[in-house]
């Protein structure tokens, strides 16, 4: 029941590293944690408003002389405490919604070619994303002495390890299905 909104923690987490605008936050979600988390403007901007009211973040004065408004936010002490409390909560919900697996699970009602094709679509997407993750990894390896970067590195290697497991599984699954064609 309520006030369990994870987008708040994403925002606090990103702001704990540097001051950002709503637009920046959206970009960082897509780029840095996009392979295991999503967020849209329609959830970010309202959250920023409420969190400012709650005192977890504050607006920084806009110095960009008369030009277009551009609102940078900074995390407050309250915000940092909320972030740390959340990190220490034992409960974590790890929800996957794998439509590809759903289609595979029910794929028996169609010809094996349909399932093979669905696996191939999945495989292509994973291969592309894996390349991006490997590029992130090689950049992060240069700065591993930094504690923050070590944490980024660990999430990236999680992605790489699981994606590589996916690809091996794809190859074996396609082989098994092709025997039925």
Partner DNA sequence: ATCAGCATGTAAGGCGTTACATGATTCA
Partner DNA sequence: TGAATCATGTAACGCCTTACATGCTGAT
Question: Site residues (CB under 8 A) for a second copy?
Answer: 6, 9-10, 12-13, 16, 32-33, 35-38, 80, 83-84, 86-88, 90, 92-110, 112, 114-115, 118, 121-122, 147-148, 150-152, 154-155, 157-158, 161-162, 164-166, 168-169, 172-173, 176-177, 180
Q: Is 23 in the site for DNA (CB under 7 A)?
A: yes
- The site partner of 30 among a second copy, DNA, none (C-beta below 5 to 8 Å per kind) is none
Q: Residue 107 class from Cβ within 10 Å (0-12 exposed, 13-18 middle, 19+ buried)?
A: middle
Considering only 11-19, 45-53, 117-125, 151-159, which stretch makes contact with DNA by CB under 7 A?
Answer: 45-53
Angle between the N-to-C axes of helices 112-140 and 147-178, in degrees from 0 to 180, rounded to the nearest 10: 160
Is 19 in contact with 60 (CB distance < 8 Å)? yes
Considering only 2-10, 81-89, 118-126, 169-177, which stretch makes contact with DNA by CB under 7 A?
Answer: 2-10
- The site partner of 74 among a second copy, DNA, none (C-beta below 5 to 8 Å per kind) is none
Considering only 66-74, 105-113, 138-146, 152-160, which stretch makes contact with DNA by CB under 7 A?
Answer: 66-74
Among 32, 34, 71, 104, binds DNA (CB under 7 A): 71
What spatial distance separates the first Cα and last Cα of the chain, rounded to whole Å?
49
Give the three-class secondary structure for 17.
Answer: coil
Question: 127-131, long-range: CB within 8 Å, 24+ apart, which pairs?
Answer: 127/167, 129/35, 129/159, 129/163, 130/159, 130/160, 130/163, 130/164, 130/167
């Amino acid at each position: 029941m309520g006030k369990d909104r994870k987008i708040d923690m994403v925002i606090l987490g990103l702001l704990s590293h540097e001051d950002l605008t709503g637009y920046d936050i959206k970009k960082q979600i897509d780029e840095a944690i996009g392979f295991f988390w999503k967020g849209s403007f329609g959830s970010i901007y309202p959250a920023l408003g409420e969190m400012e009211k709650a005192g977890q973040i504050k607006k920084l004065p806009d110095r960009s002389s008369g030009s277009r408004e551009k609102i940078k936010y900074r995390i407050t002490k309250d915000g940092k405490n909320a972030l740390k409390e959340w990190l220490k909560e034992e409960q974590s919900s790890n929800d996957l919604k794998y439509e590809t697996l759903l289609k595979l699970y029910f794929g028996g009602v169609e010809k094996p070619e349909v399932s093979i094709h669905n696996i191939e679509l999945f495989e292509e997407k994973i291969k592309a994303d894996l390349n991006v993750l490997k590029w992130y990894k090689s950049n992060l390896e240069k700065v591993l002495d930094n504690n923050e970067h070590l944490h980024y590195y660990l999430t990236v290697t999680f992605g790489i390890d699981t994606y590589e497991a996916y690809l091996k599984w794809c190859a074996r699954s396609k082989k098994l299905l092709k025997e039925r064609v």
